[in-house]
Every structure is written in structure tokens, then in C-alpha cells.
Amino acid sequence: MGWALLFIAPATIGLVALYLWPFLSTFVKSFQDVPAFGPATYTGLDNYVELVGDGEVWKAFGNSALYTVLVLLGIPLAVVLAALIEQVSRGRSVYRVLFFLPVVTLPVAVGMVWRFIYNGDFGLLNYVLSWFGIDGHYWVADPRFTIYAFAAVGIWMGLGINLIILGAGLQAIPKAVYEASALDGAGRVRQFFHITVPLLSPSIFFVTILTVIAALQMFDLIFIMLRSVNNTALADSKTIVYLFYEKAFVQFQQGYGAAVAIVLLIVIMIATALQFRLQRSWVFYG
Amino acid sequence: MRHTWTAALAAAATLLTACSSGSTGSTGEAAPAGEKVTLTYANWSEDQAPAMEQIAAEFQKENPNITVKVQTLPWPEYWSTLQVGAAGGTAPDAFWMLADHFREYAKGGALIDLSDTVKSAGIDMTAYPKAVSDSYTYEGKIFALPKDFDTNGIWYNKALFDAAGVKYPDDTWGWQQVQDAAAKLTDKAKGVWGIAAPIDAQGGYYNTILQAGGSIIKPGGTASDFAGPEAVAGLKFWTDLQKAGSSPTLKQLSDTEAVSMFESQKVAMYFSGAYWALRFHNNADLKGKVDVAPLPQGVKRATVTSGIGNAGYAGSKHPEELKKFLAFLGGTKAAEIQAATGTVLPAYKGTQQPWLDSMPEFKLQVFIDAVDYSVPLPVAGNTAEWQGLAAQYLAPAWDGAKPVEEAAKEYQAAVDEVLAKQ
């Protein structure tokens, strides 16, 4: 008993010091007016009241929600790709590495590269579109497109990790099921929808949970692609975590920033709880 | 075995002293003679880091018991690192400060008071541009010594002017000459514009608002003046350039920053500060093509000025050594090193000649002459907050989606709301 406690102590201390304590202090700060330096004063629910009436907060939640929905479209894509890679007999690992590279690339580097790709005048994307006679846009300088542009990068960045998880799930499906269905005359497409997807659904569910949480926390792309270059589209493209950063660290309003963070936490908890409820109707646990 | 224990005890003792000296903080005494002390000195510029190292080395030569470690942080992280460090007791000892962040730090007691040091070290405050030294004074106390300063001028591309047969800008130019030249220089077929007109406060509309006779922030600092007739005229200077198509659009300038446009020779004129001199000087593509002229006159001459200040952390473990170092940073030697390396325009009067000489191809005297009609960068209340609103409120005026008067009125209301919170 004593030894056991000793061995779990490092992890526990780390958890308390690096997660639990900051969380509690954020929670407390959300009920305070916290200047950059000096003592904080309790203001009760003021931060939350202000937050509800703050159009910027609603807009940021809207942007984050749109981004999340768009990034979720990457999951069907990942399922199809994972199934296709599973069919490849040679060089499977080459494909895995190719799709995994963005995952291990620094988000800063990813942001910089995509900023050039999306550039309205000299960008690669508009150049390629011009081959097909399509007029390009200022993808990350026009607030109408920014969230969509971010989502495309978000899907690309998350694809690799999703493929690994889904690939592992695919290998757990017994080959005998496919062989039996083939004998019964099922084609590839039919097998995909009636065997692969249902038997893979626990992995798909897991990937969905992770994707939603990561998407609601999107920050680095917007920081690198808009903020670091004084892009005027920033005002209309803020995500909720970006807004938190801006309030707490640029505008010295830590209390208000903390309230934004707490609301985000609640939203993530509700979104996750909702998914656990909904999974009963579509996830198949054999 | 015995040795191990002694070592452990010694280590524990060191830890204890480290903790206790931490808790005494700013009231701590100077380290006993002969004891080695290490100070950290944080900045955000890779370009300037070599000069900062050189200054630190020079200081160590005079003070062999003090080691200075120069820390260069990336700009996006600089302020959050400093703020968290200052609140948590782990901030660097000395660091660069900017006028728009200064008030929050001074008000919060995060900065070491240098008023006595100035007296005891015999530092002549009149050696600095008044607009800069004033911006680092809070409630009559001096909290930072000016490191450098910058005023604005018209950076222009001679090759593009020659190609369009337009006379170079000079000190006789008024607003109209800029508008006319910008239109003539614009050649859409070649992808060349006369000027860059982004939503830029410091290099752009602050100057023209002041030139029109406006004030940006009203005296007392509790209300702004963006919607007055002078301010609107100052904003229109830029929106007119947009309307005439003499500048890349706001979207283009969001995708590719104005300075990059200027460096890639897409725009012929760029209103900005002295701080680009070294970058343009080092750019081989621009060799012999770039020069600088004073800002044009409106109703009167004006430019905003600001400068970095060297400040110290109030919670430093070595306040006496820190003050000594800050006094050194504010002195002539540090200024001369900055000037000779062409790094920036040093704030100390009379040390600027080496800077002028380091890049003789530019008429850099323009920036020094501008001190006479310079105005401090406006700061009031939570400056970072209301400045952050500018793009959002002014973009419709730049795009032509809203009349300038209307956008200015809405921006003023938003700024005043922030100012009312203090």
C-alpha cells in the first residue's frame, strides 16, 4: 500500500500541480477582476454576465462551432482512406508515413506554409485553380473564407493520427467475416458499408471525440496565419481559444479570459456527453 | 560517503539561500564584493541580439563580478512570457519595454524605480527625446531609460519613381503631392502601386491625424478624438489612396505585409519608421534603389515617435547590480554600440552620427530632424485593448463599405467605452 502510493506519487503530483491547480485557479479567477499585476478583487458573476452580452464571444463560439463541424468532415475521409490503405498490399507503411508527416510537423511551420499556399496574389492554390479557369480568392485575408481555409488545414493535420487509430481498428476485424460475406456475393463497396463501418464504429467514435475536443481548442493556425502578420481578417475570424488568449494575455483581462475558458470547458463537456449519449444508436460493440 | 553528505548539505544550503534572497526581493542588498552575480536581459529581436550581446560584454568588462545573459524571445511570446514572469516572480532582471505596455507594468508595481539611480549616476534626462522619456515616467517616477527612438518618414523606391518619371519626395511635399505621385506611380499591368495604405496606426493614420491638427486622445486620457473633423481628414488621406486604387487593397496587404510589398518592389512609397533602415540596407535586391524623405505636411508637420525603454523587474534578486546595468544601458557607450552596428537609432543625444554613417546611402538625418515636431505615441487606459479594435472598426472605411465619418464615429465610441472602464 505504502509503496504503491510512492510509485504513483510522481504522476499524481504532476497532475495536481500542472492540471488541477491551474484549473482551480482559473475557476477562481473567473469570478474576479484580475489586473495584470497586483491584487484581484471578487466581482461575483460580473465576468459571466458581461460574456453573455458580448457579441465578440458569440461570434468566436460561432467560428469555433463552424470550424469543428467542418473538421468532422475529415472523419469519413479518414475512414475511406484507412480502408483503402488496408487494401494496399505493398508499401502500406509509405502511405502511413506520408499521411502522418503533418502530425509531427510543427504547427508554426504548417501555418507558415499554408499562409503562402493561400496567398491571394502569389499563392499555389489560386495558381492551380487558374488552370481550371477558376477565379481564386484571398483565402486567409477575406473573413468569408478564413474558417474554411483553416478547416482544410485542420483536416490535413489530423488525418495522420486518425488513420493510425482507424488502421489499428481495421486490423482487429476478423478476416473470416470478409471471406464469408464474399462467398455470399458481397462486393467491396457493400463490405465497406455493412462490415467495415459497423465493426469499426468504436474506433470512429473515439476519433470523433478527440477531433471535436481538438477542434474546439483551435488556436495555433489563427495565431500564425493572421495575428503574426496584422491580417485585418483577424477581427472576424477569432476562435474561442484565440479570444481567451487575447483577453488574458494581450489586454490584461485575466478574469474575463478565465471566464471564457470555463465556458469553453463546459461546452466541451456538454459536446462530449452528448456524443456518448448518441453513440448508443450507432456504435456497435460486437 | 561523508563527502556525499557534505555536498548534499551544501546543495541544500544553496537552495535555501536562493529561496530567501528570492523572498527579500527588491529590498535585498548588493551582493558582497567578489561574489558573482548573473543578470538576465530579455529582448524580442534577432536582428538586434548581436548588438545586445556586445553591450553586455562591454558592461562585464567594467563589472567583472556581474555576468549578463542576453535572452532573445520571439515577439509573439515576449509579452505573455514577461507578464506571467512578472506576476510569478520569474521575470528576467532587465528587459525591453514599450510605451503602450508600460502603464500596466508601472501601475502594477512590476518595474524597479530608477529615479534615484538617475540622480546618483548623474544621468542627464534631457539627453533623450522628451517624447520618449516622458512615456516611461509614471506618477513622477522614472521606470525605464530610453534605448532608442523612431520617427516616421517616407521610404521610397527610386527605381520605380524613375520608371514613372516622377520627382522624388522631399521636404516641400504636402498631402496632395503624395496623392498625385501615388496615382502616377501606379501601374496595375505591372503589378506596381504608388503607395502602401494599410490600417497602420504608428506609421500611418496617427501621423496624418496629427498633421491635420487632430489629437487622437483628448487631454486627460479619458476620451478619444477619432471622429473630429481633423481626425476624419487624417483617416481620409489613407482611404482616398485606397479609393483611387493607388495602393494594394486591404486584403492584399493582409496577405502580404506592406513592408514585404515594399521590399519586393511592388509599392513605390511606404510610410514607416527608422527601424527598417538596417533591413533595407541588408537587402541586396534594393541596393541603390531606396531612400527616405520626411513625411508630407498637412496643416502642419507631425510624426508620432516612440522608443524602446530598458526597464528592470521590481522582484529582481540583485536590485543594486540591476540598477547599475540599467544605468549603463541608458548611457553613451551602449548607445554608441547600437549606432555603430547600425542596429537602431539610439536615444542618447549626440551618439547618432555613427548610425548615420553606417548606412550613408539613406538620408537618415530625416528621422533625427523629425524629433523637433514629434509627438509621443498616444497611450491611455488599456491601450492594447482599444488599439486592437482598430482593424475591425476601420476596415469598412478602407474597403469603401462605410463612409469614413461613420466608421470613425463607431471606432471612437468603442475606444471611449474601453477608456471609461479604467
Find the residue in B nearest to A238 (Cα): B392
Task: Check pLDDT > 60 for residue B101.
Answer: yes
CA distance B238 to chain A (A): 15
CB contact under 8 A, A235 and B384: no
CA dist., res. B298 & res. B179, Å (int): 12
Q: What is the dihedral of CA B145, B148, B154, B155, to 10 degrees?
A: -160
Task: Check pLDDT > 60 for residue B59.
Answer: yes
Whether A67 is in a domain gets the answer yes
Nearest residue to B303 (alpha-carbon basis) of B273, B277, B275, B278 = B273
Q: Interface pTM (ipTM) of the complex? A: 0.80
Chain B residues touching chain A at CB-CB below 8 Å: 75-76, 79-80, 83, 86-87, 104-105, 107-110, 198-200, 250-257, 382, 384-385, 388, 391-392, 395, 398
Which of A26, A29, A32, A121 is the best residue to mutate to test the B interface, defined by the most B CB atoms within 10 Å of its own CB?
A: A121
Find the residue in B nearest to A143 (Cα): B251
Whether A6 is in a domain gets the answer no
The Cα-based distances of B25 to A262, B30, B110 in angstroms read 34, 11, 12
Q: Is the dihedral of CA A57, A58, A63, A69 positive or negative?
A: positive
> Residues B328-384: pLDDT tens digits?
999 999 999 998 887 788 999 888 888 898 899 999 999 999 999 999 999 888 888
CB contact under 8 A, B104 and A250: no
Task: Check pLDDT > 60 for residue B3.
Answer: no
Nearest residue to B299 (alpha-carbon basis) of B375, B217, B230, B366 = B230
Q: How many CB atoms lie within 10 A of CB B183?
A: 15
CB contact under 8 A, A232 and B107: no
- The beta-carbon neighbor of A120 closest among B255, B257, B388 is B255
B103: cell is 502603464
Find the residue in B nearest to A139 (Cα): B255
User: What pLDDT is recorded for position B77?
Assistant: 82
Q: Where are the domains of chain B?
A: 28-150+307-349, 152-304+365-420
CA distance B80 to chain A (A): 6
Q: What is the dihedral of CA B174, B393, B390, A257, to 10 degrees?
A: 180
Find the residue in A nearest to B391 (Cα): A232
CB contact under 8 A, A138 and B110: no
A120: cell is 491571394
Give A-chain residues touching B105 at CB under 8 angstroms: 36-37
Residue type, B390: A
User: What pLDDT is recorded for position B187?
Assistant: 94
The alpha carbons of chain A give a radius of gyration, in whole angstroms, of 23
CB contact under 8 A, A250 and B388: yes
Give B-chain residues touching A118 at CB under 8 angstroms: 255
CB contact under 8 A, B110 and A122: no
Q: Are B416 and B224 in contact (CB under 8 A)?
A: yes
Q: Mean per-residue pLDDT for B234-241?
A: 96
- The beta-carbon neighbor of B255 closest among A35, A119, A250 is A119
The answer for residues whose C-beta is within 8 angstroms of residue A153's C-beta and 6 or more apart is A110, A111, A114, A221
Task: Check pLDDT > 50 for residue B15.
Answer: no
A153: cell is 488545414
CB contact under 8 A, A230 and B79: no
CA distance A115 to chain B (A): 8
Q: Is residue B244 within a helix (H) or strand (E), and if so which, with residue range? A: none
- The beta-carbon neighbor of A230 closest among B83, B87, B257 is B257
Per-position DSSP letters for B150-195, written without gaps between them? B-EEEEEEHHHHHHHT-PPP-TT-BHHHHHHHHHHH-BGGGTBEEE
Fold of B28-150+307-349: D-Maltodextrin-Binding Protein; domain 2 (3.40.190)
Fold of B152-304+365-420: D-Maltodextrin-Binding Protein; domain 2 (3.40.190)
CA dist., res. A55 & res. A62, Å (int): 10
CA distance B352 to chain A (A): 31
Give B-chain residues touching A253 at CB under 8 angstroms: 382, 385
Q: In this predicted structure, which of A146-150, A239-243, B99-103, B242-246 has the lowest mean pLDDT?
A: B99-103
Whether A167 is in a domain gets the answer yes
- Confirm or reject contact between A258 and chain B (CB < 8 A): no
Q: How far is CA B83 from the centre of its chain?
A: 18
- Confirm or reject contact between A32 and chain B (CB < 8 A): no
B235: cell is 483617416
CA dist., res. A168 & res. A162, Å (int): 10
Find the residue in A nearest to B89 (Cα): A37
Task: Check pLDDT > 90 for residue B179.
Answer: yes
Q: Which residue has the higher pLDDT, B219 or B176?
A: B176
The Cα-based distances of B117 to B57, B62, B99, B181, B200 in angstroms read 22, 18, 21, 50, 37
The alpha carbons of chain B give a radius of gyration, in whole angstroms, of 24
Size of interface A-B (CB pairs under 8 A): 92
Q: Mean per-residue pLDDT for B181-204?
A: 94
Per-position DSSP letters for B200-239, written without gaps between them? -IIIIIHHHHHHTT--EE-TTSSSEESSSHHHHHHHHHHH
User: What pLDDT is recorded for position B22?
Assistant: 36
Give A-chain residues touching B108 at CB under 8 angstroms: 35-38
Find the residue in B nearest to A245 (Cα): B80
Give B-chain residues touching A120 at CB under 8 angstroms: 251-252, 255
Give A-chain residues touching B110 at CB under 8 angstroms: 36-37
- Confirm or reject contact between A233 and chain B (CB < 8 A): yes
Give B-chain residues touching A121 at CB under 8 angstroms: 252, 255-256
Q: Angle CA(A258)–CA(A262)–CA(A264) in degrees, nearest 5? A: 115
User: What pLDDT is recorded for position A228?
Assistant: 67
The answer for residues whose C-beta is within 8 angstroms of residue A50's C-beta and 6 or more apart is A256
Ramachandran assignment for A185, one of left (phi > 0), alpha (psi -120 to 50 degrees), beta (any other) = left
- The beta-carbon neighbor of A120 closest among B79, B200, B251 is B251
CA distance B399 to chain A (A): 11
CB contact under 8 A, A138 and B254: yes
Could you list the residue range(s) of the whole structural domain that residue A85 is in? 54-282
- Confirm or reject contact between A223 and chain B (CB < 8 A): yes
Q: Which residue has the higher pLDDT, B316 or B76?
A: B316
CA dist., res. B407 & res. B231, Å (int): 12
CA dist., res. B150 & res. B305, Å (int): 6
B313: cell is 523587474
Strand partners for B154: B271, B293
The length of chain A, given as a count of residues: 286
CA dist., res. B196 & res. B265, Å (int): 11
User: Please, how many CA atoms are within 13 Å of residue B83, restricted to the half-sphere of its CB?
Assistant: 21
- The beta-carbon neighbor of B108 closest among A37, A121, A230 is A37
> Residues B106-153: pLDDT tens digits?
988 999 999 999 999 889 999 999 889 998 999 999 999 999 998 999
Q: Are B35 and B14 in contact (CB under 8 A)?
A: no
Here the CATH number for the domain that contains residue A85 is 1.10.3720.10
- Confirm or reject contact between A229 and chain B (CB < 8 A): yes
The answer for residues whose C-beta is within 8 angstroms of residue A192's C-beta and 6 or more apart is A80, A83
Classified as helix, coil or strand, B17 is helix
CA dist., res. B211 & res. B152, Å (int): 13
Strands B141-142 and B137-138 come out as antiparallel
- Confirm or reject contact between A111 and chain B (CB < 8 A): no
Q: How many helices (H) and strands (E) does chain B have?
A: 20, 15
Nearest residue to B270 (alpha-carbon basis) of B295, B287, B251 = B295
Give A-chain residues touching B252 at CB under 8 angstroms: 120-121, 138, 141
Nearest residue to A70 (alpha-carbon basis) of A138, A137, A125, A149 = A149
Question: Taking chain B, what is the end-to-end CA distance rounded to the nearest angstrom?
Answer: 62
The answer for residues whose C-beta is within 8 angstroms of residue B149's C-beta and 6 or more apart is B128, B129, B131, B132, B305, B306, B307, B345, B347, B371
Give B-chain residues touching A234 at CB under 8 angstroms: 391
Q: In what order do the strands lie in the sheet with B152-157?
A: B193-195, B267-273, B152-157, B290-294
Per-position DSSP letters for B75-144, written without gaps between them? HHHHHHHHHHHHHHT---SEEEE-HHHHHHHHHTT-B---HHHHHHTT--GGGS-HHHHHTTEETTEE-E
Domain count, chain A: 1
The Cα-based distances of A125 to A108, A129, A144, B226 in angstroms read 19, 6, 17, 39
CA dist., res. B204 & res. A214, Å (int): 39
CB contact under 8 A, B104 and A36: yes
Whether A48 is in a domain gets the answer no
User: What pLDDT is recorded for position B32?
Assistant: 61
> b/e map of B156-171 (b: 16 or more CB within 10 Å)?
bbeebbeeeebeebee
Print pLDDT tens along chain A (286 aa).
Answer: 688 889 999 999 999 989 999 999 999 999 999 877 777 899 999 999 999 999 999 999 999 999 999 999 999 999 999 999 988 878 888 888 888 898 888 888 899 899 999 999 889 999 999 999 998 899 999 989 999 999 999 999 999 999 999 999 999 999 999 999 999 988 889 999 999 999 999 999 999 999 999 999 999 889 888 876 678 888 889 999 999 998 888 888 889 999 999 999 999 999 999 999 999 988 888 6
DSSP state for residue B274 in the 8-state scheme: G
Q: Is the dihedral of CA B403, B408, B409, B413 positive or negative?
A: positive
Question: Do the domains at B28-150+307-349 and B152-304+365-420 have one common CATH topology?
Answer: yes
- Confirm or reject contact between A120 and chain B (CB < 8 A): yes
CB contact under 8 A, B83 and A36: yes
CA dist., res. B98 & res. B93, Å (int): 16
CA distance B382 to chain A (A): 7
Task: Check pLDDT > 50 for residue B18.
Answer: no
DSSP state for residue B346 in the 8-state scheme: B
Phi, psi of B351 (to 5 degrees): -105, 10
CB contact under 8 A, B104 and A223: no
Q: In this predicted structure, which of A124-138, A259-273, B33-47, B283-297 has the lowest mean pLDDT?
A: B33-47
